[in-house]
Amino acid sequence: MLKQILHLDSLDGIQNYDPILRTKHCYNTNILINKPLPNIKEISLKSIEMPLFFNNIRTANNSNVFSFSFSFGVYNNIPISCSIPESNYITITSLINALNSSIVSALNLYINVSFTLYYSDYYISIQHNFTSLTLNKNILTNYILGFNTGTYTTSPIITTNFYCLNVDNYINLYITNLNSGSDTNANGRLLTFKIPLNAVNGQILYLGESNTFIQTISITDPYFVLSSLNIMILDRFGFPINGGNANYSFTLGITYDKLNERFIKHR
């Protein structure tokens, strides 16, 4: 077996159009390999250097949406969906204020109803006057605010989990064109390499083998030739990220079999 190091930079890629973000950007890009490598057995992530410029509340993964349904008096099972501007909310105060403002606007059509979010220490609560309130499952409600999905008939409703503004504790580097049997996580989400976030928004993420675990995937197709890398950077939920089109670099370690190279080339 032979080994080779590939140093790659998104600056050298051809940006793809992302139908969810509705734009071309470097978090969805194709990088050509000048000298294609046949008969690859393994690919390892050696390092990645990435400026972090993406928001914690994003439209692409619907983490800016809070939805519920309520019953009160003549109103029966009324669905409400509130959205807040995509932004990097660095305090729970700013997030709760934005949500309460959106909720007030959404409930203006209904007489004598009340719904307000509060926070205390690490918990969020809802004060309401509904006879029943059903919280819908989504990223904002469950994973950021900390509520359990379900129907409630009492008030206040208090979260059983701490709120978490920095829900992105890792992102996914997904190489879409590898013939590998190991490019998903346990829940089937698209993932080639897991990138723990050891930096915050506005800083540069650096990940190397010296400060993280070794990540290697196996290539199971004996006829696979690595001629390009189609890269997608996804959040932990599998949604695309708009990183402000800030370019990044990474290094891959390639293990391949020289003995079968001639067979592969002339197949």
How far, in Å, CA of 104 to CA of 125, rounded? 16
Looking at the structure, tell me whether residues 129 and 196 fall in a common domain. no
Instruction: Tell whether 163 is covered by a domain.
Output: no
Are residue 42 and residue 174 in the same domain, yes or no?
Answer: yes
Asked whether residue 217 is domain-assigned, the answer is: yes
Pairing of strands 23-38, 40-51: unpaired
Mean pLDDT (10-residue bins), the chain, 267 residues:
91 94 94 91 94 94 97 97 96 97 96 95 95 96 96 95 93 86 59 90 88 87 90 94 92 84 46
The pLDDT assigned to 224 comes to: 87
pTM: 0.87
- Residue 60 falls inside a structural domain: no
Whether residue 77 is found in the same domain as residue 50: no
pLDDT on residue 68: 98
* Whether 245 and 175 share a structural domain: yes
> Is 189 within a domain?
yes
Side chain identity at 262, as an amino acid letter?
A: R
Same domain for 131 and 203: no
Q: Which two tokens stand for residue 241?
A: 């990220």
Does residue 92 sit within a domain? Answer: yes
Residue 81: domain span = 65-158
Q: Is 246 domain-assigned?
A: yes
What local confidence, expressed as pLDDT, does residue 210 receive? 78
Give the C-alpha separation, 129 to 125, whole Å.
13
153 lies in the same domain as 176 = no
For residues 124 and 181, what is the distance between their CA atoms, to the nearest angstrom?
A: 41
Q: Answer whether 244's CB lies under 8 Å from 53's CB.
A: yes
59 domain-assigned? no
* Residue 143 sits in the same domain as residue 178: no
**Total of domains in the chain:** 2
Q: How many CB atoms lie within 10 A of CB 204?
A: 11
In DSSP notation, the chain reads: -EEEEEEEEGGGSEEEEETTTTEEEEEEEEEEEEEEEESEEEEEEEEEEEE----SB-TTTTTTEEEEEEEETTEEEEEEEEE---B---SHHHHHHHHHHHHHHHTTTSTT--EEEEEETTEEEEEE--SEEEEPP-IIIIIIS-PPPEEE-SS-EE-SS---S---SEEEEEETT--BS--B-TT--B-SEEEE--S-TTSEEEEETTSS--EEEEB--TT-EEEEEEEEEEETTS-B---TT---EEEEEEEE-GGGHHHHHT-
The CATH number that applies at residue 12 is 2.60.120.1100
75 and 125 housed in the same domain: yes
Last residue of a domain, one of 124, 140, 158: 158
Q: Are residues 173 and 145 in the same domain?
A: no
CA distance 204 to 48: 10
Give the per-residue pLDDT at 54.
Answer: 92
How many angstroms separate the Cα of 23 from the Cα of each of 10, 176, 253?
16, 18, 31
Based on the domain organization, do 139 and 183 belong to the same domain? no
